[in-house]
Every structure is written in C-alpha cells, then in structure tokens.
Chains A and B, each alone.
Chain A
Amino acid sequence: MIKNFLISEKEFISIMKSCLNKNNKKITTVENRINIALAGNPNVGKSVIFNQLTGLSQTIGNWPGKTVERMEGHLKFLGHYINIVDLPGIYSLSTYSLEEIVSREYIASDELDIIINVVDATNLERNLFLTFQLLELKIPIIIAVNQMDILRKRNKEINFEYFESIFKVPVIPVVAVHGIGVHQLLEEAIELIYQQEFHPHQKEHKLKSRTHHHQSFKMKQVYEQLKSQSSFKKIFNFPDLSSLLSFGKEVEEKIELLTTSLENKTENMVKNQYPSRFLALKIIENDKEIKNLILEEGHYSEIIKISGEYRKELEDYHGEDISTIISSEIYLNINKILDEILIIKSKKDTKKETLTDMFDHITTHSIWGYVILALILIGIYLFTFIIGDFVGGKIDELYVNLSININTDSIIAKILWEGALGGFFSAVGSVLVYVIPFFLMIEILQDSGYLPRAAFLLDKFMHVLGVHGKTIITMILGFGCNVPACAGCRIMETEREKKISVALTSLVPCAATMVVVMGLVGEYLGLGYVGILFIINFLVIILVGRILNKTMPGECTELIMEMHEYRKPNTKVIMKQTWKRSREFILKSLPIIIIIGISLEVMYIFSLLDPVNFILSPITVFCLGLPAVTGVFLIYGILRKELTFALLEVLAISIGVGSVSFLLSPIQMFVFSLVTMLYIPCFTTIIMIAKQTNWKYALQISLLEITIAIIIGTLINWGYVLIISV
C-alpha cells in the first residue's frame, strides 16, 4: 500500500516539475508538506502520539497573536514533510474556553489538511461527542482510538469494521504509549491526501486497483489546487454522513431551514471557512463568535433573527437550554451506534478497590488531603532547594576560580566578563540549578495526576480570591518558578480568571525568592521570622485577590474539571518533558539575562547607577529605612530576585566587612526580604504575564505589587521605629 504512494509521489513530482519547471522549488514545499492537527479531549494521549511521531526533532512553537499555546512538530515520513500541531485538549467545539475557540479557528483555517481525532477507547461515549462535532466541519479526518490495551484488559473490544462503515472515515486502533498504530495514522493521512476520499479498509483490494486508475486525474486536481492556492480540504471528497449526524425531527427541521437560507447566501463568503450546516448549528446554539463572523460578512441579520425565533421555539418545546437540547441530540446519536461499536466480552466486575482508588481517597480526604498537600509542597521546596543549593555552590566556585585568572582592568573586559559571563554564570548557578529540579518535581506531580486533587480541596477557598480551584494548580507551580506557572494560567477558561490567576501566581514566592529569604532572614534572624514573612506574603495574595475580584467586571465562574485517574509517572516522559522545559527556559531567558547584565554593568561603570540610588532614596531610605545602595539592588532584583541578596553579599565582601549583618540591621533585613518577596514580579514573569494577558495589565499588576510592597514595608519600618522610640 505504501509503496504505491511512493511511486505515485515520485511520478507526481516529476510531472509537476515538468509542468512548472521554474517554480519547482515552491511546488515541493507546498505539495510535500502535509499539515496535520491532533484534536481530542484532554488526557486521551494526543501529546503521547505527538511525541511518538515527532520524537527528538520536535520544535516548540509559540504562535504569535494567540493566547493559547500550541505545540508544533515536524517530521519526514515516506518522503513527505509532515507538520503536526498538538492542539490543546477540548471537550467540544463551543466557546466555553479560549482553548476551544482557538482550536476551532485553527481547525477551520486553510493551513490544516487533516485532523487526527484522538479518542479514548475506554470512554468512547464522551469522546465521540467531539468527534461528531468535528465531522460537521467536513474536514478530512482520521479517528485514532487510543488506549486499546486498557480496553482489552477490561474484556471489551471495538468493532472497527462497523465503526468505519458508519463513520466513513479511517478508524485506527492505537496504543500510543507503546507506539502501536501511531505510524499507521500517518500512512492513512498520506493515503487520504492522494485519494482525496476515503475507502473503507475492508475493501482494500479494490482500493489498490483504483489507485493507478485515479492517478492522472487526481494529479490534475492537485495541480489545479496548487494553482488556485486553495487548501486540500476543499477538494477533498467528504463522505455524506447525514444519516449519522442528523438530529431528531424538530431540531433537524430548523437546522435544515437555516442551512438552506445560509447556503443561498454564502456564495460570496470569503473569510468564512465553515460548512453551512455547521454554521446553522452554531447560530442556533447562539454561538457569539460564529454570529459575529456571519454578521461581518454582510447582511445576515435576518438569518440571525430567524435563528433566534427557532431557538426560542425549541427551548419552549423542550423546556431546556438550547445547548442542552443540541448536546442531548448528539449523545442520542452516539448511543444509537455505541452498542454496535463497543463489544463487551464478559461482564466481569472491574470495580475492585485498587491502589489508585485508595490513593485517591486519601489525597481528597477532609483531613489527610490537606496534610498531604502541605507535605508535597514542603517536599518540592526542600528537594529544589537542597539540589539547587549544592549544584549552585559548585558553579559559583567555578566562576570565582575563573575570575581570579582573568584581568578585568579594561572597561571592555569588565563589561564582557562581569556583565555577560557573570550574567551567564549567575543565570546557570542561581536560577537554572533551582529551575531544573523544580521542573522535574512538577513534571512528576503533573504526570501523576495529583494537581486536580489540590484544586478539588481548595476550590472553596479560591473563590474568596475571585477564581476557582484550578488556580491553585498554577500557584503550586509558582513555588518553583513563576514563569512557567504564569504560562500555565492558560488553563483558565475566562479572561477574567486568567488575569486574576496570573496576578496571584506571580505573587507566590518562587525558588529565587526563597534564596533571598533563607539567605538573609533564615540565616541571621531564624526560621520563625521566615514563617512571618510567608504569612505576610500569603495575606498579600489574599488582599490582591480580593482587590482584583472587587474591581474586575464579571463574576467568578464555577469549577468544572475532569478528575483524571492517578497513573504511575512515566520516567521517560518526565525526563523528556523536564529537559524540554529547561531547554526552552535556557533559550528564552539566558539571552535576555546576559543582555541586561551587560547593560547594567555599563551603567555601573559609568556611574549611571548613583542617580538611580538618589532618585529611589525617598522610598528606600525614608519609607523603608534601608541603606541608599539597596536601591540599585532592588532594580537588579527585577531581573532576577536572588540578585538583591547576591549583590548585598558582594558589597559586604568588597568593602571588607565580610558579613551582610554589618550592612543591615535585623529590621532592615526583614524589610528588605519582604520587599524583595513582594515588590514586583521578576522581568521574565512580567513578560509572561503580558504574553498571557497584555502589557497594560502586566504593568498594572507590577505597579499594584510595588505599591503594596512599599506600603507594607513602610508600615513595618515605621511601626518598628515607633515601638523602639516608645
């Protein structure tokens, strides 16, 4: 089967080259590249398939202008360049979350050629809900039925022949974790590209004989397609699925009426990529995005009006919300076919109390749940701190040893050495050494499936801050490093919650802040004061949450979250993910740190920092009662918070007092640490907040945090002064 394609492809290229000998370069890139998207519910194994396919050659692409991150990877398969996009997990093609909107837009875009819809064999009913909606888009689709091994363990089987015969699209059994069936998905995709229609597998012998017969004709079509620059999916012969997809009489009537009136008007629609029936469905469902899209195209207010009447009629008739009516219809259709697709071999009772059930029970327990949560947080912190401290110490030693042998008398050498290399070493030695073990712990925590349990336990509390339980997930991530944690805030469904979540997450004391607090207050004042600092930080988080909850328009949405089963963390996956995230961190942060390191060094050499200290002195000296020199340190601290402490130490050594305790009094240490904890998210975090929301908001949050830090710092400083004087 595959050989056929290879030959046909070669022939195809040679013909294309002879046709367009001057533009052959363009042809190979266009013709050879196949864009595939992986779509499916969360946690069905899309990313596992993605990793299996793209392997080490994957690249992480952040898409400009998009709020939700998508992963993109490339591979070469049977002479084709295949571009795979791993879309975020979605339950439906509605507009409940940003992820759904972004996924839907991408799927409908011209860029995409084929969707691989990954479904979980053990939860077909719910997974097929999305499949049914994807089928409405009339885009070439392959259904990958994953976790077949688990299904078979439960003495169930899937009738693939029947499955394909009613869906009329390729349905492939897959065991993604073992790579079974994964490459068949690509073979199938290439087959779809060349056939431009789907031939069921049981008729494979016919398909082979057809291939050659169709070839010259198909090539002409592909050639036409290339010339007109339109996408593959438009020329794809999508099967008629009306018997599978049509709804009950009342609903179907209305949708058909709308579809016809849309079809009469859609001829001139340019921007719109969706089939008329899908549009009709979405208009009747009152989908705002689709309604706007249609209104943009021209005078469709009439159709919108009619659809409103239809919606009301249906809602009155059924006594339900329109989304409930449509969803019920889809589930009805699914249940009609489910009994035929899913074969239950024996009805053995599989509901045995397993180890994971027990673990689930303990971690959501009303007492033990919280104890375990606390232990996990402390454990992660300790692990990160111990490893980071040890390795960081070794790297610092290396830098000091290197510095001895370098002559930094000339200005250029000073800038390069202390700015660039110093920046590089402190990035590696003070940040990376904490970040990598932290990522490792977080990956383990994520892969095990624990985090939703924390969200479950703390949902009620988080409502006080104007968000639901999912924010606790990103806040736990924030304990190690705010940057990936703020990036994780994309899981929040609404803009409002995303905004509050990034603000709260950016206030969580990260590993770098811990370095300052432990090094200063922990070392000289004792752990009790560290505890007080943490309590103040915690109260500030509550305060900011309350402020944002009050000032931001809208309401807190309720938690709707799937609680995935626990699973044994996969070492290979964890190592790979940790490395991938660390690498991304290195590639993105290191250049910025080095550039700013150089510029600050330049400012330092040309005494540009003294005016800064002078300007800041009303705040640092008068309000906070700190030495003027700390002004610059706090500026440095915006770059990386641990620098505030590191520079204090450097200063202590260079003026010959040896210990920070000679520079700062106990109260100054306390205020300095507190301000460092609160005063601003670090530079990279601010960038991430801006990326997740916008620059205006990122600056607003920074200003809010600066204000709070100054107010609290001033209160403590002056409160202390007053108490002493009394």
Chain B
Amino acid sequence: MDIIDKKSIMNNNNNNSLTKCLGECEIGDELEVIKVDAGGSATQRLASLGIVPGVKIIKSRSAPFNGPIEIIVKGTKIVLGRGLVSKIIVSCNNSCNL
C-alpha cells in the first residue's frame, strides 16, 4: 500500500493529476491505470485483457442504476462490474476534472 500512496502523492505533486477509483471518473475521461487490486483471479483476468498499471484507458459508458461500466482498453470495449470498478485506481489528468 505504501507504494501506491507514494505514487499517488507523486502524481498529485508532479503532474497535477488526481488519483481516484475508476467509478468516480466521468464518462469520456482518458485515464491511466495506477493500480489493480481486485484479488487473485479477477486481477489475472483483467491483466490478460491488458488492464495493468501504466496502460491508458477511456471510460466510455456507464450502465444505469449504478450498473457496470464500459472502458476502452487497447482498442477493445470491456465491461466491468461495479464491484471491480472501485478496485481499479486510475490517474486522471487535468483536462478531465474541469
């Protein structure tokens, strides 16, 4: 956990970008994955789909009633359940917060 905290602080200081969970971001945001903390097999599946720290993703859609969200990773649309969304920490650059 120390490492994420350091990373997030670094991000905040250097790039003026924010670290938050994927669920909090707006639709259309271009994000960078910082940390995937979804537990063994789900992390493995996410990793095999290319959702690993450092990769750029776009949050493209969100289902109604607080349902799953859709992200674009490496040109593919992937739907993630809401429970996973809170376990993916992303960094959001300035543009998406305005």
What is A's interface to B at a CB cutoff of 8 Å? 91-92, 94-97, 122-123, 125-126, 129-130, 285-286, 319-321, 323-324, 326-328, 331, 364, 366, 369, 452, 455-461, 463, 468-469, 557-565
Is A126 in contact with B43, judged by CB distance below 8 angstroms? no
With contacts A328-B47, A331-B50 taken as known, whether A122 is within 8 angstroms of B75 at the C-beta atoms is: yes
Is A560 in contact with B76, judged by CB distance below 8 angstroms? no
Is B68 in contact with A91, judged by CB distance below 8 angstroms? no
User: What is the chain A residue whose CB lies nearest that of B37?
Assistant: A321
Contacts of B63 in A (CB 8 A): 364, 366, 456-457, 459-460
- Nearest-neighbour CB distance to chain A for B93, whole angstroms, equals 20
Contacts of B65 in A (CB 8 A): 460-461
Tell me the residues in window 19-70 of chain B with beta carbons closer than 8 Å to chain A beta carbons: 35-38, 40-50, 52-55, 61, 63-68, 70
With contacts A95-B41, A328-B54 taken as known, whether A560 is within 8 angstroms of B67 at the C-beta atoms is: no
Is A123 in contact with B47, judged by CB distance below 8 angstroms? no
Kindly name the residue among B48, B74, B75, B80 whose own CB sees the greatest number of chain A CB atoms within 10 A: B48
User: What is the chain A residue whose CB lies nearest that of B1?
Assistant: A319
Chosen A-B contacts, 17 in total, with CB atoms closer than 8 Å, are A91-B49, A126-B49, A321-B43, A321-B47, A323-B43, A328-B52, A366-B63, A456-B68, A460-B67, A460-B68, A463-B81, A468-B81, A559-B79, A560-B78, A560-B84, A562-B77, A562-B79
A17 to B44, CA, bound (A): 51
A125 to B67, CA, bound (A): 28
Contacts of A129 in B (CB 8 A): 48, 50
- Nearest-neighbour CB distance to chain B for A451, whole angstroms, equals 12
Is B66 in contact with A460, judged by CB distance below 8 angstroms? yes
Contacts of B98 in A (CB 8 A): none
With contacts A558-B84, A561-B79 taken as known, whether A328 is within 8 angstroms of B53 at the C-beta atoms is: yes
What is B's interface to A at a CB cutoff of 8 Å? 2-4, 35-38, 40-50, 52-55, 61, 63-68, 70, 73-84
Contacts of B44 in A (CB 8 A): 92, 94, 96, 285, 321, 323, 327
User: What is the chain B residue whose CB lies nearest that of A326?
Assistant: B47
A126 to B49, CA, bound (A): 7
A561 to B79, CA, bound (A): 5
Is A366 in contact with B80, judged by CB distance below 8 angstroms? no
Kindly name the residue among B2, B43, B76 whose own CB sees the greatest number of chain A CB atoms within 10 A: B76
Is B52 in contact with A560, judged by CB distance below 8 angstroms? no
Q: Which of A123, A324, A560 contacts B53 (CB 8 A)?
A: A324
- Nearest-neighbour CB distance to chain A for B52, whole angstroms, equals 5
Contacts of B47 in A (CB 8 A): 321, 323-324, 326-328
- Nearest-neighbour CB distance to chain B for A155, whole angstroms, equals 15
With contacts A457-B63, A460-B68, A563-B77 taken as known, whether A558 is within 8 angstroms of B83 at the C-beta atoms is: yes
A509 to B66, CA, bound (A): 29
Beyond A324-B52, A460-B82, 19 additional contacts (C-beta under 8 Å) are: A91-B48, A92-B45, A95-B41, A96-B44, A130-B48, A286-B40, A321-B43, A328-B53, A456-B61, A456-B79, A460-B66, A469-B81, A558-B81, A560-B78, A560-B79, A560-B81, A562-B77, A563-B70, A563-B78
A323 to B45, CA, bound (A): 9
With contacts A460-B68, A558-B83, A562-B78 taken as known, whether A321 is within 8 angstroms of B40 at the C-beta atoms is: yes
A323 to B55, CA, bound (A): 15
User: What is the chain A residue whose CB lies nearest that of B44?
Assistant: A323
User: What is the chain A residue whose CB lies nearest that of B46?
Assistant: A560
With contacts A91-B49, A457-B63, A459-B63 taken as known, whether A319 is within 8 angstroms of B4 at the C-beta atoms is: yes
With contacts A319-B4, A321-B43 taken as known, whether A455 is within 8 angstroms of B74 at the C-beta atoms is: no
- Nearest-neighbour CB distance to chain A for B51, whole angstroms, equals 9
Is A92 in contact with B48, judged by CB distance below 8 angstroms? yes
A92 to B74, CA, bound (A): 16
Contacts of A463 in B (CB 8 A): 81
Contacts of B37 in A (CB 8 A): 321
Contacts of B68 in A (CB 8 A): 456, 459-460, 469, 559
- Nearest-neighbour CB distance to chain A for B60, whole angstroms, equals 9
- Nearest-neighbour CB distance to chain A for B98, whole angstroms, equals 22
Is B41 in contact with A327, judged by CB distance below 8 angstroms? no
With contacts A560-B49, A560-B80 taken as known, whether A457 is within 8 angstroms of B64 at the C-beta atoms is: yes
Is B40 in contact with A456, judged by CB distance below 8 angstroms? no
Contacts of A366 in B (CB 8 A): 63-64
A551 to B82, CA, bound (A): 23
Is A459 in contact with B41, judged by CB distance below 8 angstroms? no
A126 to B48, CA, bound (A): 8
Contacts of A122 in B (CB 8 A): 75
Q: Which of A285, A319, A327, A452 contacts B3 (CB 8 A)?
A: A319
Contacts of A327 in B (CB 8 A): 44, 47-48, 52
Contacts of B80 in A (CB 8 A): 558-560
- Nearest-neighbour CB distance to chain A for B69, whole angstroms, equals 9
Contacts of A95 in B (CB 8 A): 41
A557 to B46, CA, bound (A): 13
Is B43 in contact with A459, judged by CB distance below 8 angstroms? no
- Nearest-neighbour CB distance to chain B for A348, whole angstroms, equals 15
Contacts of A469 in B (CB 8 A): 68, 79, 81
- Nearest-neighbour CB distance to chain B for A20, whole angstroms, equals 46
User: What is the chain A residue whose CB lies nearest that of B82?
Assistant: A460
User: What is the chain A residue whose CB lies nearest that of B43?
Assistant: A321
Contacts of A561 in B (CB 8 A): 78-79
A92 to B38, CA, bound (A): 18
The 4 tightest CB contacts between A and B, nearest first, are A327-B47, A319-B3, A558-B81, A92-B48
Contacts of B46 in A (CB 8 A): 560
Contacts of A460 in B (CB 8 A): 63, 65-68, 82
- Nearest-neighbour CB distance to chain A for B61, whole angstroms, equals 6
A95 to B46, CA, bound (A): 13
User: What is the chain A residue whose CB lies nearest that of B71?
Assistant: A563
A469 to B44, CA, bound (A): 20
Contacts of B53 in A (CB 8 A): 320, 324, 328
- Nearest-neighbour CB distance to chain B for A150, whole angstroms, equals 12
- Nearest-neighbour CB distance to chain B for A71, whole angstroms, equals 23
Contacts of B61 in A (CB 8 A): 364, 456
Kindly name the residue among A323, A369, A564 whose own CB sees the greatest number of chain B CB atoms within 10 A: A323
A129 to B44, CA, bound (A): 13
Is A456 in contact with B67, judged by CB distance below 8 angstroms? yes
Contacts of A323 in B (CB 8 A): 40, 43-44, 47
User: What is the chain A residue whose CB lies nearest that of B60?
Assistant: A563
Contacts of B2 in A (CB 8 A): 319
A452 to B4, CA, bound (A): 34
- Nearest-neighbour CB distance to chain A for B73, whole angstroms, equals 8
Kindly name the residue among A95, A460, A461, A564 whose own CB sees the greatest number of chain B CB atoms within 10 A: A460
Contacts of B66 in A (CB 8 A): 460
Contacts of A92 in B (CB 8 A): 44-45, 48
Q: Which of B4, B54, B76 contacts A562 (CB 8 A)?
A: B76
A126 to B45, CA, bound (A): 12
- Nearest-neighbour CB distance to chain B for A93, whole angstroms, equals 9
- Nearest-neighbour CB distance to chain B for A568, whole angstroms, equals 18
A91 to B61, CA, bound (A): 23
A331 to B68, CA, bound (A): 26
